[in-house]
Structure 1
Amino acid sequence: MAGRIPLVLLACGSFNPITHQHMRLFELARDHMHQTGLYRVVGGIVSPVSDCYGKQGLVASKHRLAMARLALQSSDWVTVNDWESQQSDWTETLVTMRYHYSHIAAQHQQKTGECKNLSTNKQPDSSGPQLKLLCGADFMNTFKVPGLWKDDDIEEVVGRFGVVCVSRGSLQPDQAVHESDMLSRHRQNIFLVREWVHNEISATEVRRALRRGYSVKYLLPDLVIDYIREHNLYTQDSEIKNKDAKLRPLTKQAIQD
């Protein structure tokens, strides 16, 4: 691994609740990036979204953070960060990436004694750690949802930082790249990871099973299942939360436009 570019993988999302599938993304992505011969993955970050996101059935961030930390107790390289979830409003993925990159770069400078410009508009320094967005194939399709993303944000997320995207069942991210001129333009910065052992665990289906009193053992870590039971999460009442609300990215973008 000597001479390779240190890389941190950042996963943003609801994690409502975190599943084995979420955690598996990190392992698959690390293996793939190591196989490129260019990178050395030095860390992973799980960043649960703010409560203001407005997604139906989204339980409080304090619970989603707690479950994620319980689930990742066995990992020696993936951590849970609460910065995004603690913001007073929903935060764009790009803003979250800028925050974490600045933090990572500052830590690198302290260790090496280097002093470089950490401007949020500056390309990540190839001699220091890089940050890339980790996601599943379904995430790539969100780039096509009208009003959900700003074009400039997509440009910076993909062109400046880069994306590591893992296939999921029949969803193949290369189609999303092929159909988008912008994504195709930055194809060299999009790393597509093939999941050969199909894992169809869906947080939506997990919540449905929990509401109906069905077993979710082996879909979630046991510690997470215990936490859900202790705090009586994912009930009929919790699922109708934000039922008629629009996602905050849509309303926030409309105001800015």
Structure 2
Amino acid sequence: MDGQKITTVVLLACGSFNPVTNMHLRMFELARDHLEDTGLYRVVKGIISPVGDAYKKKGLIEACHRLEMARLSTENSDWITVDSWESLQPEWVETAKVVRHHYDQLQAAEQTNDDVDTVKYAKKRRIEKNSFEESSNRTRRDGPQLMLLCGADVLESFGVPNLWKQDDIAAIVGRYGLVCITRSGSDPYKFIHESDTLWKYRKNIHVVREWVSNNISATHVRQSLRRGRSVRYLLPDAVVRYIREQELYTAESEQKNADVILAPLQRYSGASSS
């Protein structure tokens, strides 16, 4: 092609962030280093998008708290932000739709000559019905490219029955791209090889090996909090203070949604994947 054009990238991370940990933040830094090392990309923005309460995951505390903790965790970052759109939806929103929403936001900002950094709380949104109904290969129109940032566990979850629609996986990986942070003991290439959908779009999947092992688990953090143990240096200090002040993560909160089926399993079990 005509010279090596550098593509501007925005990274989007979806998840519970229950609570947000230092590992969640490290994922953004690792992904940016990896993409920019290729010489093909410039990462200009990272977006944390906490899932809404309607996801119904066991132990999932209220979105207002998870949003505030995410905001506190990014106070000192000059490029990672928090977006509340997904968490404020009354029903659970599929990740593919969340990615589409943020893609549309970026395109609208581009068309109005807004700098990409001002997208964070943009209210105006022009939905372009055919904005990305182009080929699913790497040749995309000019403007920021959105990639979904995730851990190896999300890649593995693509194979869990009734958790994802195959069409959604194809849309996320084929139309946008995926950056997967993997740690020792996980083999993302195995999952890519075993999935026809992931194999088809393998060139859109960026696997980033995490060499400095950092296995902070939000589940283990909540367990430590329930037991009155210190979680300092696992979470940003401001988040630790907020949890203490709000008295979050108790034995009671961990039982929240214990008898409820996870939203995607409710939606997809026995349903057609059309």
Alignment check: 8 A CA contact 2:183 2:211 kept: no
Q: Which 10-residue stretch deviates more, 115-124 or 192-201? A: 115-124
What is the CA-CA distance between 1:118 and the residue it aligns to? 5.8
The answer on 1:165 being equivalent to 2:167 is: no
Q: How many equivalent pairs are there?
A: 254
2:91 corresponds in structure 1 to 89
Query: Shift in Å at residue 119 of structure 1?
Result: 2.5
Residue 46 of structure 2 corresponds to 44
Does the CA-based 8 Å contact 1:5-1:126 persist in structure 2?
A: no
Q: Which amino acid aligns with 1:7?
A: V
Aligned to 2:265, which of 226, 250, 253?
Answer: 250
TM-score (norm: length of structure 1): 0.95
Quick one: distance in 2 between partners of 1:120 and 1:250?
Answer: 30
Letter aligned with residue 89 of structure 2:
Q
Counterpart of 2:75 in structure 1 is: 73
Cα deviation code 1:148-184 (max 9, x no counterpart): 1111111111111110000023123222111111101
The structural deviation recorded for 1:244 is 1.5
Describe how 1:46-195 pairs up with structure 2 within 5 A.
46-111=48-113, 119=130, 121-123=132-134, 125-195=140-210
Which region of structure 1 is more displaced relative to structure 2, 176-185 or 75-84? Answer: 176-185
How far apart, in 1, do the equivalents of 2:25 and 2:34 lie? 15
How well do the aligned residues superpose, as a CA RMSD in angstroms?
A: 1.8
Deviation of 1:127 (Å): 1.2
- Same amino acid, percent of matched pairs: 53
Give the CA deviation at 1:146.
Answer: 0.2
Q: Which SS does the other structure have where 1:45 is aligned?
A: strand
Q: Unpaired runs of 5+ in structure 2?
A: 115-125
After TM superposition, the score normalised by the length of structure 2 is 0.89
Contact 2:18 2:218 in 1 (8 A): yes
| Amino acid across the alignment from 2:227 | R
- Does structure 1 residue 209 correspond to structure 2 residue 224? yes
Aligned partner of 1:13 in structure 2 is 15
Distance in 1 (CA, whole Å) between partners of 2:127 and 2:142 is: 11
Q: Specify which structure has the higher proportion of helix.
A: 1
CA distance in 2, matches of 1:209, 1:177: 34
One-letter code of the match for 2:111?
Answer: Q
Q: Tell me: CA distance 1:56–1:132, structure 2 relative to 1, closer, same or farther (3 Å).
A: same
Q: CA deviation at 1:14?
A: 0.1
Deviation at 1:21, TM superposition (A): 0.2
